[in-house]
């Protein structure tokens, strides 16, 4: 693990979702982030469940001081597609969590504007785990505020890897291709974490118990066990890769690629296309998978170690 640094101030844009839940738990447990708040977006599950799940996860970690703001209920111009077959009807695979101890107050994009305008330019990162609708609305309607964000780290897309919702399309980008294209072309300090990397950060059934040892670790072990379903030999941890890249970038290898997003109405909508005239994008294309799993375990149990 790299040496601890001053916690980075972050906002998590999310649609939990089982792997989102692991990412959120890591973020609040590892001690490497100052989580300013969560903004929710419709994706894996509808906006009401995404928002409720965010509040319940924070309640489970006794972190209801972290605000949650409800974001976009649908993509910019398309219908959504929930993944209840993977994440369950409630988005959490039926996991028992405490009821929310706070309410979502206010609207996500306006709150993002307030946070970015009130902080020194470049001092707040956004970690985006779901469709990019909220971020696109920020870029489109409040470009001056958007330009003040630090890093934008996005889980989405597939470059050379097959898609997970189409032959070449990854779910987050396919849910709102117009939003993804707008964000990729906005000139932000953007890093994309595609399926090419996230499919190589896999947890095996025999590793689940090793995550235990703290409230966050115990919850993650339960979540990942649910995420396995039946008959699976391993599961990729897509969204936690965003958090891991933010604090352990040495685990990843970056390429700069010129890319565009397919915004057609066809089956390839949301696919990333190599496009010579496209904007140069930093894309994680390589990862130390075992090292990432160890970094996840280490971060989930950081608070437990510090109390010993």
Q: What share of the chain is helix, strand, coil (3-state, %, to 5)?
A: 40, 20, 40
Sequence-distant (6+) residues with CB within 8 A of 175 are: 43, 75, 78, 80, 81, 130, 131, 270
The torsion defined by the Cα of 103, 109, 113 and 114, in degrees rounded to 10, comes to: -20
**Which residue matches tokens 């640094």?**
5
Strands 252-261 and 280-287: antiparallel
The Cβ-side half-sphere exposure at 182, using a 13 Å CA radius, reads 20
Q: Can you tell me the distance from the alpha carbon of 200 to that of 241, in angstroms, rounded to the nearest whole number?
A: 10
* Residue of 87, 142, 238, 298 with catalytic role: 238
Provide the 3-class DSSP secondary structure of residue 70: strand
Tracing tokens 């707008």 back to the chain, one arrives at: 182
E strand map for the chain? 8-14, 33-40, 68-70, 124-128, 151-155, 189-193, 202-203, 235-236, 252-261, 272-274, 280-287
Backbone dihedral region for residue 96 (phi beyond 0: left; psi -120 to 50: alpha; all else: beta): beta
**Is-catalytic flag, 87?**
no
**273, 35 contact by CB (below 8 A):** no
* Ramachandran quadrant class, 225 (left: phi over 0; alpha: psi -120 to 50; beta: rest): alpha
Residues designated catalytic: 238
């Amino acid at each position: 693990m790299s040496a601890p640094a001053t916690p980075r101030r972050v906002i998590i844009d999310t649609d939990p979702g089982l792997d989102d839940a692991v990412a959120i738990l890591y973020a609040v447990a590892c001690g490497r982030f100052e989580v300013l708040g969560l903004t929710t977006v419709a994706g894996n599950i509808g906006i009401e469940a995404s928002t409720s799940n965010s509040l319940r996860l924070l309640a489970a970690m006794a972190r209801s001081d972290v605000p949650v703001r409800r974001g976009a209920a649908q993509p910019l111009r398309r219908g959504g597609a929930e993944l209840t077959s993977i994440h369950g009807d409630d988005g959490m695979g039926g996991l028992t969590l405490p009821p929310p101890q706070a309410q979502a107050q206010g609207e996500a994009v306006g709150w993002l504007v307030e946070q970015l305008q009130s902080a020194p330019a470049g001092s707040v990162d956004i970690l985006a785990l779901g469709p990019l609708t909220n971020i696109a609305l920020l870029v489109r309607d409040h470009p001056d505020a958007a330009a003040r964000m630090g890093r934008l780290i996005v889980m989405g897309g597939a470059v050379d890897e097959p898609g997970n919702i189409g032959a070449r399309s990854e779910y987050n980008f396919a849910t709102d291709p117009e939003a993804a294209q707008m964000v990729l072309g906005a000139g932000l300090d953007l890093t994309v974490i595609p399926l090419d990397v996230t499919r190589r950060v896999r947890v095996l059934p025999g590793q689940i118990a090793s995550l235990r040892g703290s409230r966050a670790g115990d919850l993650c072990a339960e979540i990942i066990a649910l995420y396995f379903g039946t008959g699976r030999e391993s599961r990729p941890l897509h969204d936690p890769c965003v958090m891991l890249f933010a604090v352990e970038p040495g685990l990843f290898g970056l390429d700069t690629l010129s890319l565009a997003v397919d915004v057609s109405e066809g089956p390839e909508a949301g696919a990333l296309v190599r496009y010579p005239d496209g904007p140069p994008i930093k894309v994680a294309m390589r990862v130390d998978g075992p090292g990432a799993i160890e970094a996840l375990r280490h971060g989930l149990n950081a608070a437990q170690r510090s109390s010993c």
